[in-house]
Amino acid sequence: MNGEETARDSEGRGAPARRRPQLPLLEIGMTLAGIALLAALVLGLPPLRHAVEAALHGDTTEVRHQIDKLGVAGPLLIVALTLIHAVVMYPAEIVNAAAGFVFGFFPALAIVTAGWLLSALLCYAVGTRVARPLLDRWFGVERFERFERMIERGGVPLLLALRLIPIVPFSLVCYAAGAARVPVWRFVWTTLVGYMPITALAVYFGTRLEGLKVTDPLVVGSVAALLALIFIGNWIVRRQAGSTDGEVSRPA
């Protein structure tokens, strides 16, 4: 190679054009089919449709009613609602509280924990396999890329912290963790550990909906502990977000 060819290569001219990666059409098709199936279930099953509508409107009483009237099929409705959260984002605490009222603390905690873990794994799988343009359009390019960078750099502390902040969508964290290729086992245990405080508190509130008193020592202690965890989680996330933004703006 002569000097002229070297110069052309170093400036990026004369190099072969890079091929654009092919879209994983099969994975995209399967994902869209899954979303369509969830939509069909919501529209086709009245109890599920009414429960989703109530959850979107923040009506804990109606969600509880729909679960209660199904009897032994109630736990299946809980799991279905958690899976639907993968595409319809509503406050997860509504379902947790309703489950606590209907089933009691420990059975409800077991049911919702299993349901949210299944929902998390579903979102993680989609984040891992589906083309980025679909996820970018779903959540917004800047928002999703920022979450992905944070998770790539933040490690275990950030994964735990994100679960402690109620305003951070549960599904968004799962999609970003899948896109960032977080190891599955790390994703599973940080999801279980990080999401447990908020889940347990919502379930407990559900068990006491009819006679809840703000002076209940367990309620006061739980809320204080949760607020402390949220404060710590928010501090970790803000610190990591600042670090990520600084890294992006720093000249190469």
Contact 101, 64 (CB under 8 A): yes
How far is Cα 167 from Cα 81, in angstroms, rounded to an integer? 19
The tokens describing 191, both together, are: 């999801």
Residue 92 has a pLDDT of 84
Place of tokens 């190679």: 1
How far is Cα 173 from Cα 151, in angstroms, rounded to an integer? 8
CA 118 vs CA 85, 192, 239: distances in Å: 11, 11, 30
Q: Which of 18-22, 99-103, 152-156, 193-197 has the lowest mean pLDDT?
A: 18-22
Residue 111 has a pLDDT of 95
Confidence (pTM)? 0.71
pLDDT tens-digit map of 160-175: 888 887 777 788 888 8
Higher confidence at residue 167 or residue 83?
Answer: 83
Contact 244, 150 (CB under 8 A): yes
The tokens describing 163, both together, are: 């679960």
Place of tokens 């720093």: 250
Q: Which of 76-80, 91-95, 203-207, 219-223 has the lowest mean pLDDT?
A: 219-223
pLDDT tens-digit map of 4-38: 444 444 444 554 444 444 555 555 565 555 556 65
Residue 24 has a pLDDT of 54
Query: Does residue 248 surpass a pLDDT of 60?
Result: no
128-150 average pLDDT score: 74
> For all residues of the chain together, what is the average pLDDT?
75
